[in-house]
Amino acid sequence: MTESESIPPNSILIENSVLSCCLQDKALFFKLLSEGVTKDYFFDGLCQAVFLSLKKLADEEGAFDIILVVHSCQNIINEEESEKIDGEVASRVMKLRSVSGVTQSFDKYASELKQIHWQRQAFFHAADILSGKNLPTTDELEKSLSDLATEIQASRVSGKTQTSKNMANLLEGFVEEFREKYSNKELPGMSTGIKIIDDVTGGLRDTQFWILGGATSSGKSALALQMSLSALKQDKRVGIVSLEMSGESIIGRMISASEGIDYDIIYNPHKYQLTKGQLKQMKYANERFMNFKLEVNDEGQVKMEDIDSVVADMERNGDLDMLVIDHMHLLSADQTENKRHLELSKISGLGKAIAMKKNIPVVMPCQLNEDGKIRDSRAIADDPDVILFIRDGHIWVEKNRNGMRYIELPLQLVGNRMLFMTPLNP
């Protein structure tokens, strides 16, 4: 992992370069202070101690003598009992003088230091919200994010390098979007229609690729259709590529889930006498469903390479907001080697590629083997953002990129209604 990819965002090289310049030219340290930089702009514990030492010497109008800096750093570290210091203090401080901190590049170093600091603050705000820990009040978050946005805007105006401008623009947009979503208490993504799944995953997010794994008749298609129905009720446009079920069967399952009508009655109406209430429900369901933006391709025998053209046909009336491909093991892909696990690996990669290209969530049920693993492939786990397995009637979070995983969700398949529910919410 490179420094630019560090979590939380930080760069020891930039921090060392800034302090090296200050040790060489005291005036640069005063310039740093005038720009509002504090010790919190440094992530490394020793760099924080060096900054505080320089500030103490500056306040006392003392020279930036390296021996005095070392002595002051040692006192600060002992007082704070810092656990963030790696290596011998004196050795690391002395090395600052040999860091390639060219004073002529000080403005660039200082600008990058501030940019990384703001990235780190945004990261911590986001982490608090996603973890549910140490949540600030709405007013506190609003003030904090407003201050952060103001600082980023100032940097964008005064930034001298193209990199700084680009990063500031990105952060400015992130903070604004984050503030809006937090204020409105919105999910980051589209609701799946199942609260506990939304709580764990944040919903179906743009560019995400979801795999729903289950054995035969375990409910993997029902779960995909339940998510689709939720999206339709949110006025989203949904495309379903069905390789084993007719479009009419899909509608029947959705009506069963939506209206609470036993699916056996819908599937085998000749065996049952519908009540007047159920007939009214069917009528009202038909009226509501007429407004849903649903596109279904149920021709079967679709290759993964053909999905682009299938989606293009579905989007003749508008862009899709979600795509379901049911299911992975009924798809085929052009593959020079006659090896099914390589073919499935390619299908998985193309699934993620479609999600990225169309900027929508793509959901793909798949078959699990007797051992509870994805059948015929060990190589597809890298592509999906979320993998949910249906085992013994419950849902297991196998993968959740940047979120909780390896947990069992208290959900059960209500087979006669074609949907998953919590036991306390029948």
Number of compact structural domains in the chain: 2
Q: Is residue 181 in a domain?
A: no
The span from the CA of 397 to the CA of 408, in Å, is 6
Radius of gyration of the chain, Cα coordinates, nearest whole angstrom? 28
Q: Is residue 327 in a domain?
A: yes
Query: What is the pLDDT at residue 1?
Result: 46
Both 321 and 414 in one domain: the answer is yes
The span from the CA of 128 to the CA of 39, in Å, is 22
Mean pLDDT, the chain cut into blocks of 10 residues (426 residues total): 60 88 88 89 89 87 80 78 55 70 80 85 68 60 62 52 52 66 72 90 91 86 92 93 88 85 78 77 84 88 81 90 87 63 79 89 85 63 87 86 84 81 63
The span from the CA of 26 to the CA of 416, in Å, is 77
Q: Is residue 141 in a domain?
A: no
The span from the CA of 24 to the CA of 28, in Å, is 9
With H, G, I as helix, E, B as strand and everything else as coil, classify residue 57. helix
Domain final residue pick, 108, 135, 162: 135
Amino acid at residue number 9 = P
Structure tokens at 382: 């890298």
Q: Is residue 207 in a domain?
A: yes
Predicted model pTM: 0.59
Query: What is the pLDDT at residue 161?
Result: 43
Please report, for residues 246, 383, 399, 412, the alpha-carbon distance to residue 347 in angstroms, rounded to integers and kept in the order given: 22, 10, 18, 29
The span from the CA of 11 to the CA of 4, in Å, is 7
Output the domain CATH number for residue 378.
3.40.50.300
Query: What is the pLDDT at residue 146?
Result: 64
Both 122 and 22 in one domain: the answer is yes
Strands, E assignment, 167-321: 209-214, 237-242, 293-297
Query: What is the pLDDT at residue 231?
Result: 94
Q: Give strand pairing partners of 388.
A: 212, 397
Both 126 and 209 in one domain: the answer is no
With H, G, I as helix, E, B as strand and everything else as coil, classify residue 319. coil
Contact 173, 186 (CB under 8 A): no
Q: Which residue has the tokens 């930089």?
A: 37
Both 220 and 87 in one domain: the answer is no
Query: What is the pLDDT at residue 85?
Result: 45
Both 202 and 317 in one domain: the answer is yes
CB atoms within 10 A of CB 170: 14
Give the pLDDT confidence of 216-232 residue by residue, as tens digits: 888 888 999 999 999 99
Both 116 and 217 in one domain: the answer is no
Residue in 33, 24, 186 with CA at minimum distance from that of residue 101 = 24
Domain of 21 in residue numbering reads as 3-135
Amino acid at residue number 252 = G
